[in-house]
Amino acid sequence: QQQVKQSPQSLIVQKGGISIINCAYENTAFDYFPWYQQFPGKGPALLIAIRPDVSEKKEGRFTISFNKSAKQFSLHIMDSQPGDSATYFCAASKGQGAQKLVFGQGTRLTINP
């Protein structure tokens, strides 16, 4: 019940296209859903996060869509750029503060020029 399932494992998108990564969770007590971006040799960096009281949150080219009834959330990267090539992790926790994050397995995104 603590798992967060992420798909796909890897994704190749053409420059300018839309990248979509999906996550599903089981624990209905989760109320904070962040996405992290990780480049090789670096730690994960917070990209965008959402709470279950909203269905969508947009920050620049990055959008989180959240479906509470389906217990699913997804990351959309519009106008994908080669610089977006990285590994993306979804996560979930109870509370936004210093709470234990349960991470998805990650998606390696490659944007072809």
Partner 1 sequence: KAGVTQTPRYLIKTRGQQVTLSCSPISGHRSVSWYQQTPGQGLQFLFEYFSETQRNKGNFPGRFSGRQFSNSRSEMNVSTLELGDSALYLCASSSSVGGYTFGSGTRLTVV
In the complex, which residues of this chain contact partner 1 (CB under 8 A)? Answer: 32, 34, 36, 41-46, 49, 89, 91, 96-106
Backbone angles phi, psi at 80, to 5 degrees: -60, 140
Query: Cβ 31 to partner 1, closest distance in Å?
Result: 13
CB 96 to partner 1: min, Å: 6
Tokens of 60: 């620049």
In this structure, is the dihedral angle defined by the CA atoms of residues 95, 105, 57 and 49, taken in order, positive or negative?
Answer: positive
Closest separation in Å from C-beta 17 to partner 1: 26
- The smaller minimum CB distance to partner 1, of residues 80 and 92, is found at 92
